[in-house]
Structure 1
Amino acid sequence: MSLNEYKPGSAFPGVIGRTADVSSPAWPMPNRAREGAPNVLYIVLDDTGFGQLGCYGSPIRTPNLDALAGDGLVYNNMHTTALCSPSRSCMLTGRNHHSNGLACITEGSMGFPGSNGYIPFENGFLSEILLAQGYNTYAVGKWHLTPAEATSAAGPYDRWPLGRGFERYYGFMLGDTHQYYPELVRDNSQTEPEKTPEEGYHLTVDLVEKAKGMIADAKQVAPNKPFFMYFCTGAMHAPHHVPQEWADKYKGQFDDGWDAYRQKVFARQKELGIIPADTVLSRHDPDVQEWDALSADERRLYARMMEVFAGFLEHTDHYIGELIAFLKEMGEYENTLIMVISDNGASSEGGPSGSVNENKFFNNVPDSLEQNLAAIDDIGGPKYFNHYPWGWTYAGNTPFRRWKRETYRGGVSDPFILSWPKGIKARGEVRTQYAHAIDMVPTVLDALGIEAPTSIRGVTQSPIEGFSLASSFDDANAPSAHITQYFEMFGHRSIYHDGWRAVCPWPGTSFVESGIGFGAPISYDKLTELDARGWELYNINEDFAETNNLAETERDRLIAMIGMWYVEAGKYNVLPIDSRGTQRFAVERPQIAADRQRYEYFAGTQMVPSNAAPRLLNVHHSVSVDAVTPSGNTEGVLFAYGGNDGGISFYVKDGKLIYGHNYVADSHFRVEASQPLPAGRHIFSFEFEPTGKPDFSKGKGTPGKITLLVDGKPIGEGNLPVTIPLVMGLGGGVTIGADTGSPTMPDYEPPFRFNGTINKVWVDVSGDRVEDYEERMRIYLARQ
């Protein structure tokens, strides 16, 4: 017998009498999805270029993604914003990144509607839409869509995943993380990996296992209930971390260099029909070294860095394959709409020489070829935070020019695979329709037969700005629905319209040619000059890789497209144009709690992320710990800040109090007490007193004197000849009573928990701080 159900909010259709025998029940109707509704799976790769997947012509083996392409469609005309968080906001809302308040990453937000870092609730997420349609909703992996100042345990949580329509979350909140020692969040709380690197832990493996678990948890109870999963790997963002056996598969395969890679990929792309047969390969980038001009040691090191990247990508593909195999095993694969995309082109943040510790780059500490060569056998392991040189970046974006952060096609043209065996008849075909990340949401809604809601949780919704790709599913010749699309990233501008692209590069066509580095400001007068003489024009229908600038011969068209760019800019909150990549950090933003001179911390609490932690660099400071030591052997970390790529640790080992300073993994300094710690309750402290001035441009923070104290009495002192100048470790914040994540000092294994009792910790930063805001913002931009 079927139950009498009614929609919540409507009139009760049953009968209510004086007693049950003369009454008829009716039940609020459960929120059920349409029968047979497909699952939806987003797979978002990070920093993966157009020419890095096997099905896009790369020699790197990606058999599982290739198989998805073989079961579905490969798009060669998909675009993103050139930066991660802005692109991801487009994928989830169907609105442009400035409409989402994400002109760049939230760490560089400004006080304007298009760049304040807060995605409006008027721009509903796909998760919010599908949740209301009876779907389970899961987010796994990288998030980086919450304002940076709201990512600590103080919240607010309304822009965390669970605040934007996801029922469950497991991943990391910021732009990157250590693949062996990640900063993990489960739902709204921090958590720790369940294994160590020595036990085989790797973030990608963990994310896939958690994704499978979330799906299985619900499907075993309600097999007919569909899910939406937003699955975002940390790969292929730095650090490029992978077990050695995966990297060793590629030994010797990149010894001929980045230009040889480009030529091979370019030829393969033509064979596969990924690019038109008449495509001209873009030029050798002026910022990239000639491979043959490098020393033998440089070639050996850079080739190994690429071997590690290739192994990392194949490893990622393997575990994505496990997720797909799991769907097949459950009988869910055929009716799952899968979209695979990268958030931007390949990343150039390794600079011209790459690095085995990216934190050196962020701190202006020069990489040493000798040191890097000494590390060559361990690159890819947990010891290093490595990134390849930008020669491999430009190769990874074959056939296009330039890279991430810039709106040439190398920065904004990305791989896009779409598979839905039950809903799409075509198999293994290339699609050429123009597309942008804002088209993903309307494509899903069209495929599911769902209209975009006018209201979500009482908030009236803005119009979706993308266009459905569903017409292209089974018709290779379907016209592009998306005719016009603007681009802007740090003042680098472009616009597409009906087969043409106009580009205004800033700071120029390359750093070498312009003589200007990234982040140079554009004044009003400079913008006027750029609009008069700085734009280029390309006929993409005939010049797929933007190699033939028609600005002079098609002047009228170019002028019209420049005007069109400003129309789009006005429509989507793009103005004001702000090319500054460094000074933005000095802008004062609303904070949950203002900077203060004295901080209190407690044991058993969550890690305090670096953006909410006290700034201890280049300032007189002290840390005091109210603790009870056991009567036996005392050991463990009292206070730590950073990771194995740089930071400080205040700890006890062999019964003695120790201050450790990890200078970007280049040097490790220890100041040890002269006598063992007494048992019982005491105040253990260290004081840092600057003894000189920092030299930020040369990667040197202020030298200083360390004094160790027990109950205010000195028990040891020592000098630090140099300290970290700009940023602590990339993979950790402040922890109390343990050093979770990668070990800040090499003489203990994490988490090295304190075996006594910690009552309270005080951090005093009342000294005068020396800041370089320009350098700090450069670091944040490089980590998105």
Structure 2
Amino acid sequence: MPLNEYRSGAAFPGVIGRTADVSTPAWPEPNRAPEGSPNVLFIVLDDLGFGQLGCYGSPIATPNIDALAADGLRFSNMHTTALCSPSRSCMLTGRNHHSNGLACITEGSMGYPGSNGYIPFENGFLSEMLLQKGYNTYAVGKWHLTPAEATSAAGPYDRWPLGRGFERFYGFLGGDTHQYYPELVRDNTQVEPPATPEQGYHLTPDLVTQAKAMIADAKQVAPNKPFFLYFATGAMHAPHHVPKEWADKYKGQFDGGWDAYREQAFARQKELGIIPGNTVLSRHDPDVPDWETLSPEERRLYARMMEVYAGFLEHTDHHIGELIGFLKDLGEYDNTLIMLISDNGASSEGGPTGSVNEGKFFNNVPDNLEQNLAAIDDIGGPKYFNHYPWGWTHAGNTPFRRWKRETYRGGTSDPFIVCWPKGIAARGEIRSQYCHAIDMVPTVLEALSIEAPASIKGVTQSPIEGFSLFDCFNDADAPSLHRTQYFEMFGHRSLYHEGWRAVCPWPGTSFTESGRRFGDPISYDQLIQLDAHGWELYNLEADFAETQDLAAAERERLIAMIGMWYVEAGRYNVLPIDSRGTQRFAIERPQIAVDRERYIYYPGTQVVPGNAAPRLLNRPHAISVEAVVPEGGADGVLFSMGGNDGGFAFYVQNGTLTYGYNYVADSYFKVVATTSMPSGHHIFSVEFTPTGPVDIANGRGTPAHITLLVDGEAVGQGDLPVTIPLQLGLAAGVAVGADPGSPTMPDYQPPFAYAGEVKRALVDVSGEPLENLEERMRMILARQ
């Protein structure tokens, strides 16, 4: 006999008598999705260009993703914001990135409504919407949607995945991570990877394993309950990490260079019909050297970097195939609405020569060909944080010009595959309707026959800003509903309107032609000149790849579109225009705790992320660690902030107190005590005193004098000729008693936990000399 159930808010329909025998029960109705509701799976790849999937013309093997396309639809006209966090916010909310406060990545927030890094609660996530409708909701992989200063254990947690409608989370909170030593979080707690690189660990298969487990956990209990899985790989973002055998499959395949790749991919794209037959390949980029002008050593290095990238992509495709195969084994594949997309075009952060440490880019440090060549046999392994040169970036965005961070189509046009065997009759077809990442949420809602909620958790919701693509699922000729779309990223602006695109490039059409660099600021006077003379105009109906500038011939149309851009900018909180790049990382942002001059940290706690840690770059500071040294001594890390891409560690090796500094994996410096560590209870300190100017533009932080102390008495001194100017290792955070993740210094294996007892650590940024250290420590602790 079915239970008597009633909906929340309805009157109790049972009978309440004086005793149970004359009463009839009724139960609150569980939150159930309608029978037969499809699962929803978003697969979000990182830094993948329009021309890098096999089914979009690439020579790289992606058979599992190609199979999704063969079972569904490929879109040739999908657009993103040209950067990761902003695009992801669009995918999950259906609102534009400035409406979400994400003009830039969260680490680049600037304190304006369109750029504060805080996605408003009135812009509900798809996870929050579907949770209300009886769905399980899971997020696995890259997040990067929490303000960077709010990712510590102090929270607040309301903008972590579990605070935005996801019931479970496993992945990393930042923009990228080491694929062998990731900074992992499960739900709201940091966790260590389940294995080491030596044991065969790699992040991508781990993410797939966790996603499968989440789905199975619920399906074995409630097989009819649908799920929404947001699956966002760390791939294909740098570091390009993959087991060597995957990269070796591509040996020799890129020896012809990036222009040969472009020609091959371009021809294949026309053959596949993913681009119109009249498309003209965009020009060879002036910032990219001709392959034939490179030395044999350069060609060998750059070809290997691309082999590693290709192996990384095929490896990722393989594990995506395992996830899809799991859905088939469960019988869930046919009724799962799958959307696969990249968050922006291919990335140029490897610079003109590629890099074995992407951290150099974020600190304006030039790469060194000799160093990169010396690393060639280890590229793709755990030792390096590698990225290919921007010649491959240009090739990866075939047929378009430019790349990530710029709003030419190379930065904003991305692969987009939709597969839903039960809901889409078409197989292997191409759709050319104009669309943007903000269209994904309204498309899902219409496919599920769900209206966008008026409120979530009592918060009145803003209007959805995207348009549903549902009509074109089974009608290739359905009209494009998305008629106008603005773009802005680091001052690079464009506007799409009814088949035309106006583009105002900054720093320019190329660095070579403009004489400017990424991150150069736009002044008010320059903006006036750009609006008068800097805009280009393209008719996409006749010129898919933006090769024929019609600004002079269509002046009236261009002027109207410039005005339209400003209308959209006012509507979506785009202003002020701020073109600064890596300089944004140094901007101070509000912290949960008031700023202070002294910080106390403890062992056995979660790593404190860099954005919530003391600001130590280019300023005097001291670090003191209270520890107990056993008889016979003990080795290990006392305090660390960094990884193998940069940072520092204060540690004991061979019984000797040591300060090690990793300057973006370019140079390593060590200051070693002249005496052995004494046994017993002591306070071990390192004092950092700047000795010269900072040159941020050229990637040089202040030089410094280092003093090592035991109980306030100097035991060693040395000098750092250069330090990191803007950002320690991309995953650098405060760790006491160990160096988790990748090793900051190359002379030990992580976590290199201290074998004695660490009680606490004091970080002092007051600039005062270390005098009466024990008394100062006691007084500070008394105030905690």
TM-score, structure 2 as length reference: 0.96
Distance (whole Å) between structure 2 residues aligned to residue 634 and residue 536 of structure 1: 65
Residue 772 of structure 1: aligned partner: none
1:224-623 to structure 2, matched below 5 A, reads 224-585=224-585, 587-623=587-623
CA deviations over 1:491-514 (Å, ceiling 9, x no partner): 211111111111121222111112
1:609-758 to structure 2, matched below 5 A, reads 609-758=609-758
SS class of match (1:566): helix
Query: Comparing 696-705 with 288-297, which one deviates more in the overlay?
Result: 696-705
SS class of match (1:333): coil
Equivalent position amino acid for 1:654 in 2: N
Distance verdict in 2 for CA 1:443–1:380, change over 3 Å: same
Q: Is the 8 A contact 1:360 1:366 kept in 2?
A: yes
Q: For structure 1, which runs of at least 5 residues remain unmatched after alignment? A: 770-784
Post-superposition offset of 1:632: 4.3
Q: Is the 8 A contact 2:736 2:760 kept in 1?
A: no
Post-superposition offset of 1:729: 1.7
Residue 776 of structure 2: aligned partner: none
CA deviations over 1:388-446 (Å, ceiling 9, x no partner): 11111111000011111111111110000000011111101111111100000011011
Equivalent position amino acid for 1:549 in 2: D
Query: Comparing 551-560 with 276-285, which one deviates more in the overlay?
Result: 551-560
Equivalent position amino acid for 1:659 in 2: Y
Q: Is the 8 A contact 1:242 1:311 kept in 2?
A: yes
Post-superposition offset of 1:585: 4.7
Equivalent position amino acid for 2:237 in 1: H
Post-superposition offset of 1:596: 2.4
Residue 168 of structure 1: aligned partner: 168
Q: Is the 8 A contact 2:15 2:25 kept in 1?
A: yes
CA deviations over 1:613-647 (Å, ceiling 9, x no partner): 22333333221111122234412211011011222
SS class of match (2:493): strand
SS class of match (2:676): coil
Equivalent position amino acid for 1:113 in 2: P
Distance (whole Å) between structure 1 residues aligned to residue 107 and residue 140 of structure 2: 22
Residue 52 of structure 2: aligned partner: 52
Post-superposition offset of 1:326: 0.7
Residue 781 of structure 2: aligned partner: none
Equivalent position amino acid for 1:444 in 2: V
Distance verdict in 2 for CA 1:734–1:697, change over 3 Å: same
Distance (whole Å) between structure 1 residues aligned to residue 45 and residue 455 of structure 2: 31
Distance (whole Å) between structure 2 residues aligned to residue 590 and residue 651 of structure 1: 31
Q: Is the 8 A contact 1:60 1:310 kept in 2?
A: yes
Distance (whole Å) between structure 2 residues aligned to residue 2 and residue 60 of structure 1: 55
Residue 27 of structure 1: aligned partner: 27
Post-superposition offset of 1:519: 2.5
Distance (whole Å) between structure 2 residues aligned to residue 254 and residue 150 of structure 1: 42
Post-superposition offset of 1:584: 4.0
Equivalent position amino acid for 1:450 in 2: I
CA deviations over 1:730-776 (Å, ceiling 9, x no partner): 2331111111001112222111111222211101122299xxxxxxx
Equivalent position amino acid for 2:505 in 1: P
Distance (whole Å) between structure 2 residues aligned to residue 110 and residue 640 of structure 1: 29
Post-superposition offset of 1:347: 0.6
Equivalent position amino acid for 1:314 in 2: E
Post-superposition offset of 1:688: 2.5
Distance verdict in 2 for CA 1:674–1:559, change over 3 Å: closer
Q: For structure 2, which runs of at least 5 residues remain unmatched after alignment? A: 770-784
Q: Is the 8 A contact 1:669 1:720 kept in 2?
A: yes
Post-superposition offset of 1:699: 3.8
Q: Is the 8 A contact 2:362 2:582 kept in 1?
A: no
Query: Comparing 662-671 with 386-395, which one deviates more in the overlay?
Result: 662-671
Q: Is the 8 A contact 1:683 1:711 kept in 2?
A: yes
Provide the alpha-carbon RMSD of the alignment. 1.7
Equivalent position amino acid for 1:713 in 2: E
Post-superposition offset of 1:320: 0.6
SS class of match (1:668): strand
Equivalent position amino acid for 2:510 in 1: S
Distance (whole Å) between structure 1 residues aligned to residue 113 and residue 125 of structure 2: 18
Equivalent position amino acid for 2:211 in 1: A
Distance verdict in 2 for CA 1:560–1:128, change over 3 Å: same
Do structure 1's residue 84 and structure 2's residue 92 form an aligned pair? Answer: no
SS class of match (1:717): strand
SS class of match (1:707): strand
Query: Comparing 717-726 with 117-126, which one deviates more in the overlay?
Result: 717-726
Equivalent position amino acid for 1:119 in 2: I
Distance verdict in 2 for CA 1:678–1:525, change over 3 Å: closer
CA deviations over 1:78-106 (Å, ceiling 9, x no partner): 00011111110100000111111111112
Q: Is the 8 A contact 2:247 2:309 kept in 1?
A: yes
Equivalent position amino acid for 2:499 in 1: G
Post-superposition offset of 1:547: 0.8
Distance (whole Å) between structure 1 residues aligned to residue 558 and residue 656 of structure 2: 71
1:152-191 to structure 2, matched below 5 A, reads 152-191=152-191
Distance (whole Å) between structure 2 residues aligned to residue 477 and residue 273 of structure 1: 16
Post-superposition offset of 1:582: 4.8
Residue 4 of structure 1: aligned partner: 4
SS class of match (2:496): strand
Distance (whole Å) between structure 2 residues aligned to residue 619 and residue 657 of structure 1: 23
Distance verdict in 2 for CA 1:205–1:615, change over 3 Å: same
Distance (whole Å) between structure 2 residues aligned to residue 178 and residue 625 of structure 1: 28
SS class of match (1:449): coil
Do structure 1's residue 763 and structure 2's residue 760 form an aligned pair? Answer: no
Distance (whole Å) between structure 2 residues aligned to residue 81 and residue 267 of structure 1: 27
Distance (whole Å) between structure 2 residues aligned to residue 653 and residue 716 of structure 1: 14
Post-superposition offset of 1:677: 2.5
Post-superposition offset of 1:583: 4.9
Distance (whole Å) between structure 2 residues aligned to residue 633 and residue 592 of structure 1: 39
Distance (whole Å) between structure 1 residues aligned to residue 674 and residue 556 of structure 2: 79
Q: Is the 8 A contact 1:254 1:261 kept in 2?
A: yes
Distance (whole Å) between structure 1 residues aligned to residue 236 and residue 535 of structure 2: 32
Residue 123 of structure 2: aligned partner: 123
Query: Comparing 411-420 with 570-579, which one deviates more in the overlay?
Result: 570-579
Distance (whole Å) between structure 1 residues aligned to residue 223 and residue 737 of structure 2: 44
Post-superposition offset of 1:525: 3.2
SS class of match (1:322): helix
Post-superposition offset of 1:372: 1.1
Distance (whole Å) between structure 2 residues aligned to residue 703 and residue 586 of structure 1: 18
Distance (whole Å) between structure 2 residues aligned to residue 284 and residue 88 of structure 1: 30
Query: Comparing 712-721 with 403-412, which one deviates more in the overlay?
Result: 712-721
CA deviations over 1:151-175 (Å, ceiling 9, x no partner): 1111111111000000001111111
Post-superposition offset of 1:676: 3.2
Equivalent position amino acid for 1:368 in 2: N
Q: Is the 8 A contact 1:161 1:187 kept in 2?
A: yes
Distance (whole Å) between structure 2 residues aligned to residue 753 and residue 246 of structure 1: 33
Equivalent position amino acid for 1:154 in 2: A
Q: Is the 8 A contact 1:483 1:498 kept in 2?
A: yes
Distance (whole Å) between structure 1 residues aligned to residue 710 and residue 518 of structure 2: 48
Residue 779 of structure 1: aligned partner: none
Distance (whole Å) between structure 1 residues aligned to residue 431 and residue 174 of structure 2: 33
Residue 781 of structure 1: aligned partner: none
Post-superposition offset of 1:695: 4.2
Distance (whole Å) between structure 1 residues aligned to residue 501 and residue 431 of structure 2: 19
SS class of match (1:648): strand
Equivalent position amino acid for 1:85 in 2: S
